[in-house]
Amino acid sequence: MFRLEGRVAFLAGAASGIGLAAARGLAAAGAFAICTDLDGDGAGRAAEAVRAEGGAAEAHALDITDAAAVARVFGEAAQKHGRIHVAVSTPAVNIRKRLLDYGEADFEKVLRLNLGGSFHVLQAAGRHMAEHGGGSIVLFSSMRAMTVEPGQSVYAATKAGLIQMARGLAVELGPAGVRVNCIAPGVVETPLTAPIKNRPEWYQAYSARNALGRWAAAEEMAGPVVFLASDAASYVTGTVLFADGGWTAIDGRFAPPV
């Protein structure tokens, strides 16, 4: 149920972190991985890593905030391979500031990538998959869509917005056989979270906050991606898979004696 031989997966943000882990995981399950990223050289290294592990991949430079570029690269990939079966979008940016300290440029930067870029991927993938009778689209939200802390207001809003966009498209394209879902990670060791990891007291506080008592490795997000891409999730759409180590299951940071 989890094998993906004969399928083609388009990945946005594949150069590092969760995107790279997703590319490797999908390729290990048998998919051909199309690795795209704003960092074209990084996308190339991702494709090389996939091939070094026995998988098949190619790479393209892509800025997902550019709607025309997304449509072009996705269209060229679809024409080359005949069909794209899976699309995964991971890019995001987080400017940690309190809401009242946000500038207009800060606000636009976070929305432009986190919501706007994902919107462009949703449109390109959705149009192609609807025309070809099905597919699976996976967006990366966050547990911040449900729980927030000072300095995360705008980032959290975009991650909540992704869930509603995914749900809306799942409803609209369900009759065409297209599934659309979100994964909501907890704290994952990636370039995005490096500023936190580099502060020991902050890193330990986040570790203690979730049920498993630790951060996730980026590779631990590959399994959820493969599941949602595969036939094992054939009746799963319009939902959110929380891969947060139990962060959203815990009520506060105090464990009372029982």
| Domains in the chain with CATH codes | 8-245 (3.40.50.720)
List the structure tokens of 47.
Answer: 């494709």
Measured distance CA(87)–CA(108) in Å, rounded: 25
Distances, alpha carbon 65 to alpha carbons 62, 104, 116, in Å? 9, 17, 6
Distances, alpha carbon 117 to alpha carbons 110, 147, 148, 244, in Å? 10, 23, 22, 23
Of residues 47 and 201, more confidence is placed in 47
Which of these is catalytic: 102, 155, 206, 235?
Answer: 155
Mean of per-residue pLDDT scores for the chain: 95
Q: Count the neighbouring beta carbons within 10 Å of the beta carbon of residue 21.
A: 23
List the structure tokens of 19.
Answer: 């995107």
pLDDT at position 28 is 98
For the cut 90, the answer to whether the pLDDT of residue 86 exceeds it is yes
52-77: b (≥16 Cβ within 10 Å) or e: eeebebbbbbbbbbebebbeebbeeb
The model's confidence at residue 170, banded by pLDDT at 50, 70 and 90, is: very high
Q: Of 221, 8, 26, nearest to 135 (Cα)?
A: 8
Q: Of 167, 184, 62, 182, nearest to 124 (Cα)?
A: 62
Mean pLDDT of 45-71: 98
For the cut 90, the answer to whether the pLDDT of residue 38 exceeds it is yes
The model's confidence at residue 198, banded by pLDDT at 50, 70 and 90, is: confident
Mean pLDDT of 38-59: 98
Measured distance CA(195)–CA(156) in Å, rounded: 18
For the cut 90, the answer to whether the pLDDT of residue 209 exceeds it is no
Mean pLDDT of 126-145: 98
Crossing angle of helices 153-173 and 104-111, in 10° steps, is 30
Residue 132, Cβ density class (10 Å: 0-12 exposed, 13-18 middle, ≥19 buried):
middle
The model's confidence at residue 252, banded by pLDDT at 50, 70 and 90, is: low
For the cut 80, the answer to whether the pLDDT of residue 46 exceeds it is yes
Q: Of 89, 82, 81, 138, nearest to 118 (Cα)?
A: 89
Residue with tokens 């943000």: 13
For the cut 70, the answer to whether the pLDDT of residue 254 exceeds it is no
Q: Is 155 a catalytic residue?
A: yes
For the cut 80, the answer to whether the pLDDT of residue 257 exceeds it is no
Mean pLDDT of 142-155: 95
For the cut 80, the answer to whether the pLDDT of residue 17 exceeds it is yes
Q: Count the neighbouring beta carbons within 10 Å of the beta carbon of residue 254.
A: 6
For the cut 80, the answer to whether the pLDDT of residue 253 exceeds it is no
The model's confidence at residue 197, banded by pLDDT at 50, 70 and 90, is: confident
